[in-house]
Amino acid sequence: MTKKLLIEYVDSGREIEFLYKGKKYSITYGRIDGKDVISFCEFYKETTEVETAEELLSVERDGISVLSMLQSLKEKDIWIY
């Protein structure tokens, strides 16, 4: 997935799930303390909330950014809702 496509999906509120190195991750949306947030997490683990797609690009797990994870995957390992 390209950076441009990831930003497009996030800016339009599309939920994203993907499998990376045997772990399942998700990007969802919510509201915390009156602010719209983008939530990134490994399923049932630590969640990180940010306010923009640009901030999401640099969120890391195990030293790898969300953008790098998604750029390395084949389409079959990414689910867009």
Length in residues, the chain: 81
Mean pLDDT of all residues in 48-76: 95
Domain coordinates in residue numbering, the chain: 3-73
pLDDT at 33: 94
Angstrom distance (rounded) from CA 41 to CA 61:
9
Angstrom distance (rounded) from CA 2 to CA 49:
21
Angstrom distance (rounded) from CA 40 to CA 48:
5
pLDDT band at 44 (very low <50, low <70, confident <90, very high): confident
